[in-house]
Structure 1
Amino acid sequence: MKLVNLLSPVFIGFVISFLQQGLAAYWRAEDVVKFMNTSEKIIVYNSTEVSDVFCKVDLTESLHKDKGPLSFNRTIYTTSGKNTTHCLFATVYDETLSVGLCTEARDNTTETLLYQNGNSTCGVFEVAFADSYSGWYEIRLRASSLNSGPSRGCAEYFTQRTQDENQTVYTGCATALPAGL
């Protein structure tokens, strides 16, 4: 009986370890640094955010390969014509960016890369304000993929995550941005 009592914690530990390894094989953190590491503009193609924004564009300024700080400019085009560009600073945690203005010491949003295609030209992000659990989803494309649109896998993942939510296709980016992107 003592042997059974002694083995129970060992057996339970083994089972938990086995399950964790098995689940890890089916889930992997997306590499947000790989997605952001480009000289191309990154454009929001589709979003569930309800706002007057018709185009968002990110341009990476500096990126540290050790998954440290990242800085980029985000330009937001609105239907009211109040277009803004802000310097943003992000701290990278696995697949998540904690994003804030360069001029402030606090994070404004968390932006989590949920999916990216094989060549990192399309990604699905979940975005939320730092002090809120609710947020929205975005498909982001590198500029070279804007005309062809998101890859099939990227579009399917976005649709699956957002099937019951508002969706706004940011078609305005094609006309708001200069031809040379």
Structure 2
Amino acid sequence: MVRLVFLCGVLCVLLLTTPSHQHEGQGNRQDIVRFLNTTEKIWTWKSTSTVRTICKVDIKSDINATNIAYTRSILEGRYYWTKKELRGKFFNWNSSMNTISGSYDAVDLATRGGRGAGVEVLHYVSANFKCAVLFILGDGRYPIRPWYDMRVWDSSTQNGPDEDCKRAFENVTIPKERKQSYYRGCPNATAFMK
């Protein structure tokens, strides 16, 4: 029941605060599973969240065609990391997607204890699936304030996101404030994760 109320609230917020969900300039399938299914760390590169996060990283522990489990870590101090164990169920946010194809564009997240932790909707994914722009509907806190994240695979941090991914993020986030989340020191700081 709580989850249903949460999702209804999320839907209302989405309808009131964003234009229709469109996948801009996509030649490849919108597939959040292909973006998340990597052995690499996935870093948040930039975000429009009102909560400033530095060195936010997701490390997948398990994934299959319909579910994912991973640890989300955020650097809170110079050497202190907060961690959240998350479980997600893939689904199609964009109802025009073919559900039979097994391609999903969103994930409904919960903590290990079952508490809702938000919904993440794929807005854009690069052709090589190493960069994505995600529409985030909450993180388990209230009130729900939607935002966008640009996330990249660890192997893309050296040169940064590709130009198409940057453009997709910039286009969808006008006029929101964009905050850098990834810095060169982030990979070194992971040595202090426990």
Q: TM-score, normalised by structure 1?
A: 0.75
Task: Give the C-alpha shift of residue 133 in structure 1.
Answer: 6.0
Task: Say whether 1:118 aligns with 2:127.
Answer: yes
Looking at structure 2, the residues matched to 146 and 37 of structure 1 have their Cα atoms a distance apart, in angstroms, of 17
Q: Percent identity?
A: 24
Task: Give the C-alpha shift of residue 55 in structure 1.
Answer: 1.5
Using the TM superposition, name which of 75-84 and 122-131 deviates more: 75-84
> Counterparts of 1:22-101 in structure 2 under 5 Å?
30-65=30-65, 68-79=66-77, 82-93=80-91, 94-101=104-111
Looking at structure 2, the residues matched to 89 and 164 of structure 1 have their Cα atoms a distance apart, in angstroms, of 32
Task: Give the C-alpha shift of residue 171 in structure 1.
Answer: 3.7
Matched residue, 1:145: 156
Looking at structure 2, the residues matched to 52 and 124 of structure 1 have their Cα atoms a distance apart, in angstroms, of 17
**Taking structure 1 as reference, are residues 55 and 123 closer, same or farther at Cα in structure 2, changes over 3 Å only?**
same
Task: Give the C-alpha shift of residue 108 in structure 1.
Answer: 1.6
1:50-105 CA-to-partner distances (Å, cap 9, x unmatched) read 2242111001111113xx22100111112576521121100101211111111x22
Looking at structure 1, the residues matched to 59 and 170 of structure 2 have their Cα atoms a distance apart, in angstroms, of 26
Task: Say whether 1:167 aligns with 2:181.
Answer: no
**Taking structure 1 as reference, are residues 147 and 85 closer, same or farther at Cα in structure 2, changes over 3 Å only?**
same
- Root-mean-square deviation (CA), in Å? 2.7
Looking at structure 2, the residues matched to 136 and 79 of structure 1 have their Cα atoms a distance apart, in angstroms, of 23
> Mind listing any 5+ residue stretches in structure 2 that lack a counterpart?
1-24, 92-103
Task: Give the C-alpha shift of residue 107 in structure 1.
Answer: 2.0
Looking at structure 1, the residues matched to 34 and 88 of structure 2 have their Cα atoms a distance apart, in angstroms, of 14
Task: Say whether 1:154 aligns with 2:165.
Answer: yes
Looking at structure 1, the residues matched to 68 and 167 of structure 2 have their Cα atoms a distance apart, in angstroms, of 29
Task: Give the C-alpha shift of residue 178 in structure 1.
Answer: 2.8
Task: Say whether 1:177 aligns with 2:187.
Answer: yes
> Mind listing any 5+ residue stretches in structure 1 that lack a counterpart?
1-25
Q: TM-score, normalised by structure 2?
A: 0.71
Contact 1:52/1:79 (<8 A) preserved: no
Contact 1:40/1:59 (<8 A) preserved: yes
SS in 1 for 2:152: strand
Looking at structure 2, the residues matched to 83 and 106 of structure 1 have their Cα atoms a distance apart, in angstroms, of 21
Looking at structure 1, the residues matched to 190 and 119 of structure 2 have their Cα atoms a distance apart, in angstroms, of 30
Looking at structure 1, the residues matched to 144 and 181 of structure 2 have their Cα atoms a distance apart, in angstroms, of 24
